[in-house]
Structure 1
Amino acid sequence: MQNCFLMYSLARAHKSQPLLRAMVKLLTQNFEKLFEHQGFLQLDLSTLVALISSNDLAVSSELKVYQAVRRWVSFQPGKRSLHLGELMHHVRFPFFSAKEQMEVQRDSEKWGDLQLKCKQLGGQERLREAGRLRQGMCKPHILLIDNQMCEYQDTESEDAYMACFDPQAETWERLPGLQCLTHACCASDSNKIYISGGVCRNSYSSAVYEFDSFRCQWVELPSMATPRSAHGFLFYNRRLFAVGGWCQFQSFLDSAESFDLETGKWNAIDKLPFALSHPASSVFRNKLYFLGGATGIARNWVFHRGILVYETASGAWTQVPLSSGFLAAGAVAVDNGIYVIGGFSERKPRDSVEVTLVSENRLTTRKCLLVNEAGQVNHQVSLPKLPRAVANAGVVCCNNRIYVLGGEDLAQRYKSIYHWEPGEPHWHRCGIDIPVPRGGISRFGCAILMRPKPHILQLFQKTSRVLLAAVCK
């Protein structure tokens, strides 16, 4: 960090966007340390706006953002005070505690250039006004929703098991689950989790639910147009995308739809080039990726040997071929691509095993691979194999580590947890397993949930006088 601002100046002088993006990311991740540095005062307006408008800003208190704006403006008040109103627009005042609000009040009286707007609000009203949490105000947890039909579970009366895993402390905390929902798909957006489709009371479901870490409860959203299970389900840019899947066993879907969280409406999007279920799915650089999967069941599973890429801007689908197929794998996006973890790979036809419904042409795999933005496998990056072959596991990225939870092979399910950080030579097993009351767990909802830190959560527990905005006089 010592030469961060020197590198920033170099990036601007040479108009190097890659270096500039790297420096802005470093500033974002270390904002509380760096905004007091002398070099911070040399930032240009557009960079400062990019920083203080970011959800990824690593600040535990929004007061730090206010103080940074004040410091930057007061360095050249004659020139920069013109931008004070614009900069204050990006400060999320409802996240201020009562003590911090008093500090801003004293500060505004001292400078005499801002008018504060306040209002008496209840917890939920304040939450609506607050907007998104900053990264430093919350802590990432791995949410597990056991939505697979279990022989021991009375789905008419018992909530499905749901819990949060703190990967730093390696502890679990039980949370309220959903009733009567199995084999659903899961997506996340910061402090919210979304569940869609699945099977409800032996029929395929179009239901969609949202879990908010502030309220710690589920609410039902408008249903999808099509009941679906084993589908691709992603969140991107305030929209949910439900893609493919099946509406009953061996009835595969090529339809796709998206839900706008602002309007509360589902709309059809362009169909897939073919029907697809059980893909690994991830968002990477404004595109949606659906990797592998199955295109049908004839005498055996028909593997998709490729990747479908959806351009969110144009609404167009692109197909990228792969040399081999897989299904029920996990996928997580990182800086340089998408890691595809485990899953079922194709068994050679002569080795297929006849079972009751279908010739079993699947094998679980330990293989991991990295796919770039173009959908091509990056063979230059060496990835360690999983400790054991698993499919239908929970795969997420948390604190720069990739976690693999549970999963199954064709003989049993598991409840172990493994993690790996890019660059390491092998995977590591966590000291604690998934605390389910049976031998293992697979085909469950798994996503990152950002949970508010206690000092932030307590702001929304009661009615109080809330600072909403500061506007120039």
Structure 2
Amino acid sequence: MDDLLDKQEKREYCDYEDCAWVENLGVSFQAMRQALELTDMKLRAGDTEFPCHRVVLAASSPFFRALLTGPMKEESRTTFDLQDTCSSTLSLLLDFMYTGKLRITEENVQDVLVSANYLLLGRLVDACSDFLRRQLDFQNCFEMYSFADAHGCEELLRATQRYILRNLPEASSSPAFLEAGFEQLRSLLGEDNLNVSSEMDLFRSIMDWVSHDVQDRSCHLLELLRLVRLPYLPTDNLNLISNDKLIAANPGCKTVLHNAHLCKEDLIPYPIEWRSPRSSTNQVEVLVVLGGVHSSQLGNSSSSLQHYWCDPRSQLLSWSKHSAMPHMLRNTVMYDVTKFRNDIYVIGGFDGEQGTLGHVWRYQIDNDQRETWGRVPALITSRYQHGSGVAGGHLFVAGGYDGREALNNVECFSPGWERWQPCPPMPEAVTFPAVVGYHKRLFVIGGMKSDSCAFPWIQCFDMATQSWSIIKTLELKSKGSKSVLLNDAIYIIGGPSNQVHVYDPENDVSFDVAPTLDIHVCAGVTVNNGKIYVAGGDNLKDRQNWNSVECYDPASNTWSIIGKMVIPLYWHGLVSIVRPNMPPMKAYLDSTNVYEVGPSMMFRGFQEGPPDHDPR
């Protein structure tokens, strides 16, 4: 071995590193501290003083470095008091700053973390947080949450929050839950990913917490009740909640419950805190695409009876199939699709054999996942190219074409009546309007007065006065657009432009937001979980790529393409409904539910590129 070493070639230089140098340096400094050699500063905790070296403190702790070397440095100061640190904790921290080693135990971890956080010993704080995270259980999670929040331990706070949200049923049954603070509950119980099997279970947990100290906690009942997503409970459960003594004695709580009933009946828009169910309750708000015209290649068009759904938050590319639409709709196009009280309505349309239709079909799904299609009373006036929307707890159908002329008549429907009733006519007859409701007002937006003349304004029906007015705050010049209500604002999307207009009905102002990435004529538009989704539609470029799905996030004012429909469609329906959660099944194109339609179904008109034959 020595011979081999002697025969190695000559080197110009050698980079040498003593891997034990840093550790030995720390050990040497520790020995010098213990022997009181060259110490130049003292730390004091209570009555105990600890001699130490300024240079080691400054090198180990950003707090001490700023104190001893910064603009406000205290060169003459030889003693520093750590008033909120006990002597045993300070001894451990000094050992750590000199050697990088410390044994964390259940007995010392919280004191060490607090002092380490004060001295900006970040890696030690992380180690203590990780240790505490591993000790989480049903009995200490709420106390741990308060501790992490009070001391700004972000990682521990997030870990504790995840633990509580995931294990609330067990955690809420422990005595520690009853001792939790109001601010803790308020920050946790409104989360989307809170794990509760039923909103009723959450309500019972809240009532247990309030009842534990009624005198001091009843003032928080209203705010906590708002965190229960009441509209997704059966009416029987809402009635049980109304009969609770504490609820009945609180006028604010009674108002919240009344609003929950109104939301279920589509009398008022859902507030932000109730806009979607929690997935843990076995309910999910899904996108549903149904019907429409399918064009697989230029000059070859088919009507579709297929019916797909997906959860856009987790599986947009995994579309599942609902039951097919009624066979009688196989040759029907230009109907309108809307959601009313969580049921889907397919209204009117044009049939290649029967002409203009007044048929109305309703799709329902119950908690046992039974899907049914059924007929409801037909429209008073058969029509197609119309619009429909929900306002004040009623379903409205406005405008359209009856095969001879554009219509200005309006009809409304309520399940309690089980019949359509006429409403006062609109000032202007229009086809292809965008229709949306806001409280007890119906907005019929734009549309076409004739093939070459667009109606540029908004016609507004006030249910209270049973009268119409024309709003000229926003000017429109296209057909084929759709409208939705989001955060008390009306968004008008689609048509031969990618512009997105917004109208604020409360303040009577309009403005534009970010444009869509593509053009969508006669597309499907809906709101799901606080975002807008646009699916398919004629892009005025080809008939191959009508299956893109765009999503608008109002928080960032941005659009993104997030996936594709199973088949390219236009004149289809896109709605959001709440349905029981179930495993997705791969959807595919079923040729038995696609029917050939004539070229007359492919109609482009005013400002929409080369028109084909108009079926009228």
How far the C-alpha of 1:403 sits from its partner, in A, is 1.2
CA distance in 2, matches of 1:324, 1:234: 19
**Counterpart contact for 2:533–2:549, Cα < 8 Å:** yes
**Corresponding letter in the other structure for 1:402:** I
1:289-300 alignment, distance < 5 Å: 289-297=443-451
1:399-410 alignment, distance < 5 Å: 399-410=529-540
Q: 1:205 to 1:281 in 2, by over 3 A?
A: same
**Counterpart contact for 2:442–2:462, Cα < 8 Å:** yes
**Counterpart contact for 1:419–1:428, Cα < 8 Å:** yes
1:72 corresponds in structure 2 to 210
1:419 corresponds in structure 2 to 551
- Of residues 367, 372, 392, the one that matches 2:522 is 392
**Counterpart contact for 2:391–2:439, Cα < 8 Å:** no
CA distance in 1, matches of 2:522, 2:578: 23
CA distance in 2, matches of 1:388, 1:144: 19
How far the C-alpha of 1:202 sits from its partner, in A, is 3.4
Listed one character per residue, the Cα deviations across residues 341-366 of structure 1 (whole Å, up to 9, x for unaligned) are 121xxxxxxxxxxxxxxxxxxxx111
How far the C-alpha of 1:241 sits from its partner, in A, is 0.8
Q: 1:216 to 1:95 in 2, by over 3 A?
A: farther
CA distance in 2, matches of 1:58, 1:241: 38
CA distance in 1, matches of 2:579, 2:185: 34
Q: 1:189 to 1:94 in 2, by over 3 A?
A: closer
1:172 corresponds in structure 2 to 319
How far the C-alpha of 1:428 sits from its partner, in A, is 1.2
How far the C-alpha of 1:73 sits from its partner, in A, is 4.8
- Of residues 543, 561, 575, the one that matches 1:429 is 561
Listed one character per residue, the Cα deviations across residues 264-297 of structure 1 (whole Å, up to 9, x for unaligned) are 1221111111211111122224322111111223
**Counterpart contact for 2:518–2:539, Cα < 8 Å:** no
Q: 1:69 to 1:330 in 2, by over 3 A?
A: same
Provide the TM-score with structure 1 as the length reference. 0.63
1:36-435 alignment, distance < 5 Å: 38-39=181-182, 60-61=197-198, 62-73=200-211, 75-76=213-214, 135-136=277-278, 137=281, 138-148=283-293, 160-168=305-313, 169-170=315-316, 171-176=318-323, 177-179=325-327, 180=329, 181-189=332-340, 191-200=342-351, 201-214=353-366, 215-248=370-403, 251-297=405-451, 301-321=452-472, 322-343=474-495, 364-373=496-505, 376-379=508-511, 383-413=513-543, 414-424=546-556, 426-430=558-562, 432-435=563-566
How far the C-alpha of 1:223 sits from its partner, in A, is 1.1
CA distance in 2, matches of 1:323, 1:79: 52
CA distance in 2, matches of 1:433, 1:164: 12
Task: Give the SS at the match of 2:575.
Answer: strand
CA distance in 2, matches of 1:422, 1:94: 32
1:7 corresponds in structure 2 to none
Count of aligned positions: 344
CA distance in 2, matches of 1:153, 1:409: 15
Listed one character per residue, the Cα deviations across residues 405-463 of structure 1 (whole Å, up to 9, x for unaligned) are 11114453411111120143542112x31112xxx3111111111112359xxxxxxxx
Task: Give the SS at the match of 2:381.
Answer: coil
**Counterpart contact for 2:445–2:459, Cα < 8 Å:** yes
Q: 1:94 to 1:370 in 2, by over 3 A?
A: closer
1:452 corresponds in structure 2 to 580
CA distance in 2, matches of 1:256, 1:408: 28
How far the C-alpha of 1:172 sits from its partner, in A, is 0.4
The percentage of counterpart residues that share the same residue type is 19
Q: 1:313 to 1:39 in 2, by over 3 A?
A: farther
CA distance in 2, matches of 1:212, 1:408: 29
Task: Give the SS at the match of 2:333.
Answer: coil
CA distance in 2, matches of 1:376, 1:329: 20
CA distance in 2, matches of 1:265, 1:375: 35
CA distance in 2, matches of 1:375, 1:207: 38
CA distance in 2, matches of 1:73, 1:188: 40
CA distance in 2, matches of 1:403, 1:163: 15
CA distance in 2, matches of 1:204, 1:281: 20
**Counterpart contact for 2:391–2:436, Cα < 8 Å:** no
Structure having the higher helix fraction is 2
How far the C-alpha of 1:336 sits from its partner, in A, is 4.2
CA distance in 2, matches of 1:448, 1:58: 23
Q: 1:397 to 1:384 in 2, by over 3 A?
A: same
Structure having the higher strand fraction is 1
**Corresponding letter in the other structure for 1:135:** P
**Counterpart contact for 1:213–1:449, Cα < 8 Å:** no
Unaligned runs of 5+ in 2: 1-167, 238-243, 246-263, 266-273, 584-616
How far the C-alpha of 1:315 sits from its partner, in A, is 2.0
CA distance in 2, matches of 1:261, 1:316: 23
CA distance in 2, matches of 1:441, 1:65: 43
**Corresponding letter in the other structure for 1:72:** V
Q: 1:273 to 1:144 in 2, by over 3 A?
A: same
Q: 1:195 to 1:211 in 2, by over 3 A?
A: same
Provide the TM-score with structure 2 as the length reference. 0.49
Q: 1:274 to 1:93 in 2, by over 3 A?
A: closer
CA distance in 1, matches of 2:460, 2:362: 26
How far the C-alpha of 1:187 sits from its partner, in A, is 1.0
Unaligned runs of 5+ in 1: 1-30, 44-50, 52-56, 97-107, 112-130, 344-363, 456-473
How far the C-alpha of 1:95 sits from its partner, in A, is 8.2
**Corresponding letter in the other structure for 2:288:** L
**Corresponding letter in the other structure for 1:76:** V
What is the Cα-based RMSD across aligned positions, in Å? 4.1
How far the C-alpha of 1:252 sits from its partner, in A, is 0.6
Q: 1:135 to 1:202 in 2, by over 3 A?
A: same
**Corresponding letter in the other structure for 2:440:** N
Listed one character per residue, the Cα deviations across residues 154-192 of structure 1 (whole Å, up to 9, x for unaligned) are 87xxx7111113212112011122322322111113531
**Counterpart contact for 1:275–1:296, Cα < 8 Å:** no
**Counterpart contact for 2:437–2:443, Cα < 8 Å:** yes
**Corresponding letter in the other structure for 2:525:** V
How far the C-alpha of 1:152 sits from its partner, in A, is 7.1
Task: Give the SS at the match of 1:427.
Answer: strand
**Counterpart contact for 2:399–2:430, Cα < 8 Å:** yes
CA distance in 1, matches of 2:341, 2:432: 24
**Counterpart contact for 2:392–2:439, Cα < 8 Å:** no
CA distance in 2, matches of 1:266, 1:190: 16
